[in-house]
Amino acid sequence: MKRVFVLLLISMFSFSLYSQTGDETAELILTSAKRGGYLPSLYTKYYKVKAWSAKQSKPVPLENEVWTLSNFQTAMDVSTKKPIDWGVNGDRFVVINIVPDNNNRPYNVKDDIAGTKNNLTFTLDLYEYDGKFVKTISKWGYLLGSGYYGVVYVQQGVYPTFLSNVPVEKGGTLSYKVYDGAVNQLSNLVAEDEMKVTLMEKKVNLPDDIPMQLSCNFAPKPVFDEAKTSLLEKMKGESPFMQAKYYQSDVYDAGKMDFPKPNQRWSFWNMFIASDITNRCPIDWGPNGDRYVQFDLEFETKRNYSALEDDLYNTGKRFLFPLRLYESDGRFVKTISSFGNFFGFGEGSFVFMQDARNEIASFFTKLPVVIDKPFSYRVDKRTVTKISELLFFKPA
């Protein structure tokens, strides 16, 4: 009976699929792949400092092997056979996009879920800093060596271009663990069960969200009334914690094993590229990679369990500590997280749970950290409940 039921489900799925037109199925597959969220590089802006031509230790790496890229040089543009034109101010960026492939390109994305002939390929598109489209650099290409450090996009089978999540230098070398040797199957981009439901129901149930990192939608800096602003500036001026600036080498996403305990080491199973909870994308460190994040201070306007009590300034109020992103010259860019919880103070380091959802644990430190490797440090204090415990904490 069980076997009959399984065969019935397969028959229903097959009938539903073949009853659709080819164009309809192709559109469903393309939309699902774009919204799947499995490949962060589809949503990330890569500026000049994060895009490099590179020599590969082997043409196509294997899954879970260590791959080496070397001799980083200026990224090329296959459409002109010249270096990419990053604009007058050098602040343009490139983005990977996914499109239909009707020409059976090398390493294209094949439908390994439903077995249709709707193949996909990747383009590389160039944009102005404000998000205005400039041109398509590469009309087709494939992705190799996807990992926490970045991914290689091969422009039309000619120019391997390393799109990096970490700072690299011209002429340098980088080795990292590969998670997907070649992104050439639909299951690399969307969950199999979701794709099957999409084809049966003839609609995509994944949200149509454009990540804010791509939209260039910079929120205005918050404005407070004069009296409150004066007090907040005084508090920040007296606090080493509020004055600390953290650059991309100082902030990481942390895979925590548990919550910290005083006078013990706190372990993390891996350290990742720092991300932004507002869009689930890597933090946008800007065209020169020199933006920084800094904690701000504001009055609690409604009951929030992340707020800390004032035990210093006799305001009788509670305060929140949003995390904001700034240009190197101090200009406000956006708010990364509007509030959160702090844990594990020790060795000048701590964890900030963005928006207190326990989804993104951001680790702040000046200690040496290696991406994709375990990490631990000694904790002095598990958490804080009053502003004095935070304001007087001195980052390493």
231 within some domain: yes
β partners of residue 337: 323
* pLDDT confidence of residue 223: 57
Helix (H) or strand (E) holding 226: helix 226-237
Nearest to 351 by CA among 255, 239, 278: 255
Q: Structural domain of residue 239, as residue ranges?
A: 226-391
- What angle is formed at CA 141 by the lines to CA 65 and CA 101, rounded to 5 degrees? 120
* pLDDT confidence of residue 222: 59
- What angle is formed at CA 231 by the lines to CA 220 and CA 331, rounded to 5 degrees? 30
* pLDDT confidence of residue 11: 44
Q: CA 65 to CA 181: how far, in whole Å?
A: 8
Query: For residue 188, what are its two tokens?
Result: 């690399």
Residues 175 and 296 reside in one and the same domain: no
Contacts of 303-310 spanning 24+ positions with Cβ under 8 A: 304/339, 305/356, 306/339, 306/340, 306/341, 306/356, 307/339, 308/384, 308/385, 308/386, 308/387, 308/389, 308/390, 309/385, 309/386, 309/387, 310/386, 310/387
327 within some domain: yes
* pLDDT confidence of residue 15: 46
Residues 331 and 200 reside in one and the same domain: no
211 within some domain: no
Residues 55 and 158 reside in one and the same domain: yes
* pLDDT confidence of residue 120: 97
* pLDDT confidence of residue 39: 83
212 within some domain: no
93 within some domain: yes
DSSP string of 86-139, one letter each residue: --TTS--EEEEEEEEESS--TTPBB--SS--S-EEEEEEEEE-TTS-EEEEEES
* pLDDT confidence of residue 224: 61
β partners of residue 352: 342, 362
Q: CA 276 to CA 280: how far, in whole Å?
A: 5
Residues of the chain with pLDDT under 50: 1-19
User: Can you tell me whether residue 285 is helix, strand or coil?
Assistant: coil
Residues 196 and 258 reside in one and the same domain: no
